[in-house]
Amino acid sequence: MQIVRVLLYQAQDYSHYAQLLPANAMEVMVKDYKLPLEIVCEVVRPGVKHIAMMNNEEWTHLTNEFSNAYQSCLKDEKYLVKSTRIG
């Protein structure tokens, strides 16, 4: 993805990369820009500290951000699976 390459070029490390993204980046990209969650995860991932190096507060923040983005997807009709009846 082009945007990831551009951001990686601009950033020295993961924390600088994260600063280039908006606050609550995942939720903003899903709710406001209507990007698929799979793409959002690809864009945000380089700005996330390695899990083994996170403290409890950082882990909680990350899981809450993922949860909020996922919940936003569930509210959006384009993510809902339409059932079809056969017979």
The verdict on residue 85 lying in a domain is: no
The verdict on residue 9 lying in a domain is: yes
Each residue's pLDDT, cut to its tens digit, for the chain (87 residues) gives: 788 999 889 998 888 999 999 888 888 898 888 888 889 989 999 998 888 899 999 999 989 988 988 888 777 666 655 555 565
Q: What is the structure's pLDDT at 3?
A: 85
CA distance 23 to 41: 15
Q: What is the structure's pLDDT at 54?
A: 93
Nearest in space to 26 (alpha carbons), one of 58, 70, 79: 70
Task: Give the contacts of 60 (CB within 8 A, at least 6 positions apart).
Answer: none
Task: Give the contacts of 3 (CB within 8 A, at least 6 positions apart).
Answer: 43
The verdict on residue 84 lying in a domain is: no
Task: State the residue range of the domain holding 46.
Answer: 2-79
The verdict on residue 46 lying in a domain is: yes
Q: Tell me, rounded to whole angstroms, the distance of Cα 66 from its chain centroid.
A: 6
pTM score, two decimals?
Answer: 0.73
> Residue 80: left (phi > 0), alpha (psi -120 to 50), or beta?
beta
Q: How many domains does the chain contain in total?
A: 1
